[in-house]
Amino acid sequence: MRAASISRKTAETDVAVSIALDGTGKASIDTGVGFLDHMLELLARHALFDLDVKVEGDLHVDQHHTTEDAGIALGQAFAKALGDKRGIARYADLHLPMDETLSRVAIDISGRPFLVFRTQFRVEKIGQFDTELVREWFQAFAMNAGITLHVETLYGENAHHIAESCFKGLARALRAAVAVDPREEGRVPSTKGSL
C-alpha cells in the first residue's frame, strides 16, 4: 500500500497527516475549520484515499495558517506516499459539475510544481471561511505535492458549490493520475526515467 505520514510543527500550527493512496475514502479530519474539514472529507471520499488530518492552529488570529499548513503537510504526505511514481498514469483531467457550477481540473504528477487557479468568488466568505483561502490551500498542496495543477471554474454562482467543485475535481483527477497502469510494467512514466 502506498502510504505516508507527515508531522509539521511551527509557531503557528501543529499538523499531523496520514494518507493511504490505495484506500477506500475513509477520513478523519479535524482542523478546527469546519468548511476545510468538509472539503478534505470529500477530497478523501472522491479520491478514494484514506486520510487523517489533525491541525492545531492559531485560529485566534484567523484561519489562514491552519488552511495553508494543512495543504503543505498533505502535499508532502502525498509526494512521500507516491515514492518514485513507478507505473502511475501520471496525467488526468476532467470536468466536475456541482449543480449550476462547472469546474475543470487538469493534473500532471510531474515533480515540477505549478498552479494555475482561475476561479473567482463573488463573496468574501463561505460561512466563517475566507474564500481567498481556497486558492491558498491549492497553492500549498500543489507546491508540496510536486504537481502541475490547473483549476478553472468555467461558470458558477454559489460560492460553496464553486469551492466544492474544485476540491471534488482535484480528488477525481488525483484518483485517476495515481492509478497504476499495468501497461507501464512498473516503469516511471517519463522519457527521462524519473519524475
Per-residue pLDDT of 112-140, as tens digits, reads 999 999 999 999 999 999 999 999 999 99
Q: What is the mean pLDDT of residues 19-47?
A: 98
How far apart (Å, rounded) are the C-alpha atoms in residues 75 and 139?
Answer: 10
Considering the chain, what is the average pLDDT of its residues?
97
SS3 label, residue 181: coil
Indicate the pLDDT class of residue 195, thresholds 50, 70 and 90.
confident
**pLDDT one-digit tens code per residue, 59-116:** 999 999 999 999 999 999 999 999 999 999 999 999 999 999 999 999 999 999 999 9
**Burial of 101 (C-beta count, 10 Å sphere; 0-12/13-18/19+):** buried
Task: Give the pLDDT of residue 192.
Answer: 87
- Whether the model clears a pTM of 0.85, i.e. scores above it, the answer is yes
- Model confidence at 152, in pLDDT bands (50, 70, 90)? very high
Write down the pLDDT at residue 158. 98
Buried b (16+ CB within 10 A) or exposed e, 119-130: bebeeeebeebb
Q: Cell numbers 449543480 correspond to what residue? A: 99
Cell of 11: 509557531
What grid cell was written down for 94?
A: 476532467
Q: CA nearest 121: which of 82, 158, 172, 77?
A: 158
Which pLDDT score is estimated for 115?
98
- Cα–Cα distance between 22 and 175 in angstroms, integer? 9
Q: What's the rounded mean pLDDT across residues 157-169?
A: 98
Residue 191 binned pLDDT confidence (cut-offs 50, 70, 90)? confident
pLDDT of 50 > 90? The answer is yes
